[in-house]
A = this chain, B = another copy of it.
Amino acid sequence: VARPHIVTLTTDFGLVDHYAGAIKGALLSVFPEARIADITHAVQAFDVLDGALAIAESYSYFPSGSVHMVVVDPGVGSERRPILATVGEHYFVAPDNGVLSLVYAQADSVMVREITSSHYFRQPVSSTFHGRDVFAPVAANLAKGVDPAKFGDEITDYVRFAAPQPKAAADHSLRGIVLKIDRYGNLITNIRASDAPQLFGENPPPFRIVAGKETITEMCNHYAQGAPGELFAIVGSMGYLEISTNRGTAAKLLGIGKGAVVSLWLEGAAAASSHHG
């Protein structure tokens, strides 16, 4: 694949310290022509699932041949391996801790290598900052056009985890959870079209969603459809069911957070999640 010289960054370094700056320097000193695009540096500290969501929801919008550096790495310096994954026409460098799990889950073709060619690393390699010393120089060389095979051999036992899935419950609900709360206070659940196809279609049947102490029965097509102060369901830009409110924060109205249970009942139908637990 031709390389457009793009390197994206998804980390939990935050925006206050110099860590993201040191990474950019380490990239540019190997490949000054790299086009660096920050996806986010505000993944929750040490939170591999949060990082997995951020990269899975954004990488595919970048051009083929982009290199994605994903550094949420509480195990830095331990035995956990550095990996290079080729997923479709995108390249990823990351610690092998599952942070690419949701990228793998969407993909047709995945090939993972352990990065072992230490002559590409910044020397000496610290035991606390592989983003700077291992991942950045490997990403820069990849963006430059180096063949992935040069960095190490294929492995098949790489770490992956399943995203939390909604489940059919005894009370005939489909029971999901809040995956994350975004900047606007939208509650993004883990319920997708494949979990409740009728609800995501043109004319959704009557339904009830119970979240916190509230019951939601309205579906909106866009945020501005909602009446002020009213909670509604909406299919968000990530393809998940969200609970939202117009020009306000649903998370505050509901008083619930990440991980909270969201139950869905569709009228005249048992829960649709036949393919889950």
Contact with B along A1-18 (1 / 0, CB 8 A): 000111010101111111
What's the minimum C-beta distance from A99 to chain B, rounded to whole angstroms? 14
Chain A interface residue count, CB cutoff 8 Å, equals 72
Per the bound structure, the CA–CA distance linking A61 and B20 in Å amounts to 11
Number of copies: 3
What's the minimum C-beta distance from A223 to chain B, rounded to whole angstroms? 6
Are B22 and A61 touching (Cβ within 8 A)? yes
Are B42 and A225 touching (Cβ within 8 A)? no
Q: Which of A62-104 contact B (CB under 8 A)?
A: 62-63, 66, 74-78, 80
| Residue A204 CB within 8 A of the other chain | no
Are B247 and A46 touching (Cβ within 8 A)? yes
| Residue A149 CB within 8 A of the other chain | no
Out of B16, B58, B126, name the residue touching A22 (CB < 8 Å).
B58
| Residue A40 CB within 8 A of the other chain | yes
Dominant secondary structure of chain A at its interface with chain B: loop
| Residue A215 CB within 8 A of the other chain | no
Q: Residue on B with the closest CB to A74?
A: B247
Per the bound structure, the CA–CA distance linking A237 and B129 in Å amounts to 6
Which residues does chain B contribute within 8 Å of A236, judged by CB atoms? 128
Per the bound structure, the CA–CA distance linking A19 and B236 in Å amounts to 12
What's the minimum C-beta distance from A244 to chain B, rounded to whole angstroms? 9
What's the minimum C-beta distance from A106 to chain B, rounded to whole angstroms? 14
| Residue A232 CB within 8 A of the other chain | no
Which residues of A does B touch, CB under 8 Å?
Answer: 4-6, 8, 10, 12-26, 28-29, 32, 35-42, 45-46, 53-55, 57-63, 66, 74-78, 80, 126-129, 132, 180, 182-185, 221-225, 234-237, 246-247, 249
